[in-house]
Amino acid sequence: MRKKHNILFACSELTPWVKTGGLADVCGSLPQALHRAGNDVRVVIPGYESVLRQIDSPVFISQLELPLGNVALCQTRLRAHDVLLITHPSFSNRPGNPYMSDDDRAWADNPYRFALFSQAVTEIALDRAQLEWQPDIVHCNDWQTGLVPALLTLHKPRPATVFTVHNLAYQGNILHSAYTDLQLPAELFHANGLEFWGQASYIKGGLAYADRVNTVSAGYAAEIRQNKYGCGMDGLLRSRGDRVSGILNGIDMDDWNPQTDPHLPQNYSLQTLDRKSANKAALQKEMRLPQDPEVPVFGVISRLAEQKGIDLIINAISTLRTEQLQLVVLGSGDTELQTQLLALQQDLPDKVAVKIGFSEPFSRLIEAGADSFLMPSRYEPCGLNQMYSLRYGTPPVVTHVGGLADTVFDPDQGAEKANGFVIKNATSEYLAQGIQRVLTAFANKPLWHQLQHNGMTTDFSWDESAQKYETLYHCAINDIEANLTR
């Protein structure tokens, strides 16, 4: 039996306390699955003001004296595992989300804040925090923790490190002068280290120095080795060979369960799929669309951004304005795309309904009430909404990229595993063709029910992914023991 691990899981977001995207969901779910498998997991996050408001009396552990300032280390619990909080005024005295103010401007001192956080994580990893506990694995996530693997290489002995890339486009790049002002180690700033086109790159710290690097799907792991998707890091990633891999994210199958979801007007299962129509009627009513069970409803829940293909959806629906269909959109983001969506709603009031913002209950209603889900991303490291849609019997339309290609299978790929519709390229023309294929399939009830069945019976639980992470941790530890890494 393989030895279980002490795992320090470092991240900047954590469901249910603080979330700006899918990173929070992963950091809220994967540690739980690892704990269920018998590992000793401690999650460490910054003690944001919004987090501290939700926690009753976290326990003070110690004060850490760091090169960038002193921080307090506190501890609380989330479900079955401990959560460590790094508290400092730059985290705890800030409104807004973790990275931006209420007016959507990035905090100017983000490089300082997350360098400070990384120094604190490093101290915990080296058992210098009075926890009387030391990890044998430090699992870091995205640029906010990218300095940790780099800083740990300056110490021996040290725990093994794993770095997960959730989105390579967000890199935490800063001017060399800013790096110098932060008095970060000069010996890490070179072409094979943190230096990136004259700047310092936090994410490159994870990519270059972690013992093992992984992304959130096998498809994305392959893509970021290519110039098109590599964001300037593809050469480095290719050079790391088999130390870069992909592990598909999971979802919380208990939370995302149409049979028990408390947000739905009508619960249903694969055996009672006819009850799904009550959610469709409720969705149409709430969005003031004509209540017609025979008109296919397409759902979108997304950050309004070019990456997500929102412009493709606008153009495709405009092209298909004479077809019998409806579109419901929930999201926020780019103001120009928001304006275009609202204009489309005004132009097609009986077909298009848009809600700007985010609501968890309403997002569940879209997943259950829509007939199909649109996700024509230009790139998608993993994606979660397509898995939620499959779980809820709502076949998605996706582009053949990243994690979408790993989870959604077209009827052309074989009816036995088909669960949605895959378009070859992210263009409005291909998307319009994909939507027309949905309209045709929706009228073919045996085919439609087969697609729903295949999606709803797929196991997207975290337990299988957690086993793969345990194997990855084992490889990272072996690399250190064999002296194969820095």
- Evaluate whether residue 258 is within a structural domain: no
CA torsion 437-440-446-448 (nearest 10°) is 50
In the predicted structure, residue 97 carries a pLDDT above the cut 90: no
CB 328 within 8 A of CB 280: no
Handedness of CA 253, 218, 43, 362 (dihedral sign): negative
In the predicted structure, residue 101 carries a pLDDT above the cut 90: no
- Evaluate whether residue 144 is within a structural domain: yes
Same domain, 299 and 170: no
In the predicted structure, residue 111 carries a pLDDT above the cut 60: yes
d(CA 49, CA 53): 6
In the predicted structure, residue 293 carries a pLDDT above the cut 60: yes
Same domain, 426 and 473: no
Residues 6+ apart with CB under 8 A from 311: 337, 340, 428
Same domain, 285 and 305: yes
Per-residue model confidence (pLDDT) at position 20 = 85
Task: Write the single-letter amino acid at 199.
Answer: Q
Structural domains of the chain, count: 2
Per-residue model confidence (pLDDT) at position 21 = 82
CB 214 within 8 A of CB 476: no
Tens digits of per-residue pLDDT, 298-329? Answer: 999 999 999 999 999 999 999 999 999 999 99
Same domain, 204 and 299: no
How is residue 381 annotated by DSSP?
Answer: S
In the predicted structure, residue 96 carries a pLDDT above the cut 90: no
CB 101 within 8 A of CB 107: yes
Q: Which two tokens stand for residue 399?
A: 């582009």
Q: Indicate the pairing of strand 59-66 with strand 69-78.
A: antiparallel
Residues facing 398 on adjacent strands: 375, 422
Largest CA distance in the chain: 67
Tens digits of per-residue pLDDT, 251-271? Answer: 989 999 999 999 999 999 999
- Evaluate whether residue 268 is within a structural domain: no
Higher pLDDT, 214 or 415: 214
Same domain, 215 and 328: no
Tens digits of per-residue pLDDT, 43-85? Answer: 999 999 999 999 988 999 999 999 999 999 999 999 889 999 9
Per-residue model confidence (pLDDT) at position 484 = 62
How is residue 166 annotated by DSSP?
Answer: S
Percent of the chain whose predicted confidence (pLDDT) is above 90:
91
- Evaluate whether residue 102 is within a structural domain: yes
Tell me the CATH number at 30. Answer: 3.40.50.2000
Tens digits of per-residue pLDDT, 177-196? Answer: 999 999 999 999 999 999 99
- Evaluate whether residue 266 is within a structural domain: no
Per-residue model confidence (pLDDT) at position 486 = 60
- Evaluate whether residue 168 is within a structural domain: yes
CB 279 within 8 A of CB 267: no
Tens digits of per-residue pLDDT, 421-472? Answer: 999 999 999 999 999 999 999 999 999 999 999 999 999 999 999 999 999 9
d(CA 30, CA 24): 10
Q: Indicate the pairing of strand 81-87 with strand 195-196.
A: unpaired
Same domain, 421 and 467: no
Same domain, 224 and 354: no
- Evaluate whether residue 107 is within a structural domain: yes
CB 246 within 8 A of CB 216: yes
Rg of the chain, C-alpha, whole Å: 23
Q: Which two tokens stand for residue 58?
A: 């976290």
- The candidate with the shortest Cα–Cα distance to 114, out of 26, 199, 187, 205, is 205
290: three-class secondary structure by DSSP: coil
Same domain, 222 and 142: yes
Lowest mean pLDDT among 131-140, 168-177, 322-331, 410-419: 410-419
Work out the angle at residue 61's Cα, subtended by the Cα atoms of residues 55 and 64, and round it to the nearest 5 degrees. Answer: 115
Same domain, 199 and 298: no
Same domain, 315 and 452: yes
- Evaluate whether residue 263 is within a structural domain: no
- The candidate with the shortest Cα–Cα distance to 115, out of 158, 135, 86, 157, is 86
Lowest mean pLDDT among 8-17, 96-105, 384-393, 449-458: 96-105
Q: Indicate the pairing of strand 297-304 with strand 372-375.
A: parallel
Same domain, 130 and 246: yes
Task: Write the single-letter amino acid at 52.
Answer: L
Q: List the alpha helices (DSSP H) in 37-130.
A: 49-52, 89-92, 110-125
Per-residue model confidence (pLDDT) at position 3 = 74
Same domain, 312 and 433: yes
Q: Could you tell me the residue range of the domain that residue 371 belongs to?
A: 273-456
Lowest mean pLDDT among 2-6, 84-88, 139-143, 336-340: 2-6
Per-residue model confidence (pLDDT) at position 2 = 65
- The candidate with the shortest Cα–Cα distance to 162, out of 143, 137, 142, 134, is 137
pTM: 0.91
Residues facing 77 on adjacent strands: 82
Over residues 137-163, mean pLDDT = 98
